[in-house]
C-alpha cells in the first residue's frame, strides 16, 4: 500500500551526477514510498546498459561539439538529451511497482496542459502518432527504477545528427527519419517550459496516487554517495565499449530489439564474447557473454548455453532459432 508520494527536482545538468543521484535515491527508497525524480541533461547521448556506443552514437562528433556520452543501468535504446527534454524517474520497491500507474502520471500531466498523450507499446508515449516519451526499467535488490524522457522543445535536428538509428528500424515504423518519428509536446502546447511540465507532473503525481505530493527530505540524500557514484558513471570503463578482435559476428533485428554478438573463435572455442542490444531485458543480455565464454563453437552448444541463462526464455529461443536457420541455409546446395 502506498503511503507517501515524494518528489525531487535537481537543477544539475551533468548526466553523470544525475544518474548517480538516481542511483542513490533508488538505494534510499522505503516500502510504501514512490519517489518522482525530475532532471535534465545538457547536450548528452545516453545509451542502454548493453548497447555498443560506437554503433549507437556518433561519439567523436558529439564530444567535439562539447557533448557527453553516458550509459545508464537499464536496457533499451539510445536517447538524446538537451534542455528541451525533461527526464522523469519513478523509484519504488518491487511490490509497489506498477508501470501503467506510473505512466498515467505523465498522461495526466499532459492532460492538464490540454495535450492528449497515449501509452503505446511497452515503453512509449505518443501524441498524434509521434513519440514524445521513451521509457526503460531495471530492478536491483528489490527496488525498481522506471525512467523516461519527455520531449518538450528538444532540438530534433541535433538528435538526428548524433544518434545512429538504423534505416531498417525507421522503415519498420513507416518513417524516413528520426525527425518524422518523434515530436515535441511544444507542438501541441506552444511555449511549454520545463518548469511548467514539472509543476503539472507533481500535481498529477498526487492525483494518480491519491496522496499529497511532498518534497523528498534533502537530509536523506547522501551527497558523498552521489559523488562516489558519479565517478563510476563518468568512467570510460563504464561508458565506452572495449573493442576486441572478433571473427564471429552475429547481427539481427528481432521483435524485441536489435542484437549483436561478437566473439573470437580459437581452436573451436568462443572467447572474448560481447553482446549488445537495445532489448528492455538488460539482465539477460548482460549475463549472456559469461554463459558463452569458453564453450564449443557450434549452434547446438550456443543454444544450450543460452538456455541456462536466467531472464527471458523468448530472447534465448529467438536467437537459437535464428542461428539454426542461418546454419541450415548455409548447408543448402547452390
Nearest C-alpha neighbor of 254 from the set 197, 309, 203, 318: 318
Predicted TM-score of the model (pTM): 0.79
pLDDT in tens, 93-113: 999 999 999 999 999 999 999
Cell of 306: 543460452
pLDDT in tens, 227-239: 999 999 999 889 9
Given a cut of 50, whether residue 4 has pLDDT beyond it is yes
Return the pLDDT at 243: 55
Largest separation between any pair of C-alpha atoms in the chain = 71
Q: Taking the mean position of all CA atoms in its chain, how far away is CA 334?
A: 43
pLDDT tier at 246, thresholds 50, 70, 90? low
pLDDT tier at 179, thresholds 50, 70, 90? low
Cell of 150: 519527455
What is the percentage of the chain residues whose pLDDT exceeds 70?
91
CA angle 190, 109, 135 (to 5 degrees): 100
pLDDT tier at 181, thresholds 50, 70, 90? confident
Mean per-residue pLDDT over the chain, rounded: 89
For 124-218, where are the E strands, in sequence order?
124-127, 130-140, 143-151, 213-215
Cβ(280)–Cβ(256) below 8 Å? yes
pLDDT tier at 267, thresholds 50, 70, 90? confident
Given a cut of 60, whether residue 293 has pLDDT beyond it is yes
Q: How far apart are CA 280 and CA 134, in angstroms?
A: 11
Strand partners, 266: 269
Pairing state of beta strands 248-254 and 124-127?
A: unpaired
Amino acid at each position: 500500500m502506498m503511503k507517501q508520494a515524494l518528489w525531487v527536482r535537481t537543477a544539475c545538468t551533468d548526466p553523470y551526477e544525475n544518474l548517480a543521484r538516481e542511483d542513490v535515491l533508488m538505494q534510499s527508497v522505503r516500502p510504501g514510498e514512490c519517489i518522482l525524480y525530475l532532471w535534465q541533461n545538457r547536450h548528452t547521448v545516453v545509451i542502454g546498459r548493453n548497447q555498443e556506443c560506437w554503433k549507437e552514437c556518433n561519439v567523436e562528433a558529439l564530444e567535439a561539439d562539447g557533448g557527453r556520452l553516458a550509459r545508464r543501468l537499464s536496457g533499451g535504446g539510445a536517447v538524446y538529451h538537451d534542455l528541451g527534454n525533461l527526464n522523469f524517474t519513478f523509484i519504488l520497491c518491487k511490490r509497489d511497482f506498477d508501470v501503467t500507474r506510473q505512466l498515467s502520471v505523465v498522461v495526466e500531466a499532459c492532460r492538464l496542459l490540454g495535450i492528449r498523450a497515449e501509452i503505446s507499446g511497452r515503453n512509449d508515449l505518443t501524441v498524434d502518432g509521434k513519440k514524445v516519451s521513451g521509457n526503460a526499467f531495471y530492478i536491483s535488490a528489490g527496488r525498481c527504477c522506471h525512467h523516461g524522457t519527455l520531449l518538450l522543445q528538444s532540438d530534433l535536428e541535433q538528435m538526428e545528427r548524433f544518434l545512429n538509428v538504423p534505416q531498417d528500424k525507421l522503415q519498420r515504423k513507416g518513417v524516413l527519419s528520426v525527425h518524422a518519428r518523434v515530436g515535441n509536446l511544444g507542438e501541441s502546447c506552444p511555449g511549454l517550459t520545463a518548469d511548467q511540465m514539472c509543476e503539472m507532473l507533481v500535481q498529477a503525481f498526487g492525483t494518480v496516487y491519491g496522496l499529497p505530493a511532498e518534497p523528498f527530505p534533502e537530509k536523506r540524500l547522501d551527497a558523498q554517495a552521489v559523488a562516489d557514484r558519479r565517478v563510476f558513471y563518468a568512467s570510460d570503463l563504464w561508458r565506452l565499449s572495449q573493442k576486441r578482435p572478433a571473427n564471429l559476428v552475429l547481427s539481427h533485428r528481432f521483435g524485441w530489439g536489435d542484437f549483436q554478438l561478437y566473439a573470437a573463435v580459437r581452436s573451436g572455442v568462443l572467447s572474448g564474447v560481447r553482446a549488445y542490444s537495445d532489448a528492455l531485458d538488460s539482465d539477460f543480455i548482460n549475463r549472456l557473454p559469461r554463459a558463452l565464454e569458453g564453450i564449443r563453437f557450434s549452434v547446438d552448444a550456443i543454444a544450450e548455453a543460452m538456455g541456462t541463462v536466467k531472464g527471458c526464455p523468448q530472447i534465448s529461443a529467438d536467437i537459437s532459432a535464428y542461428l539454426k536457420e542461418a546454419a541450415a541455409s548455409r548447408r543448402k546446395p547452390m
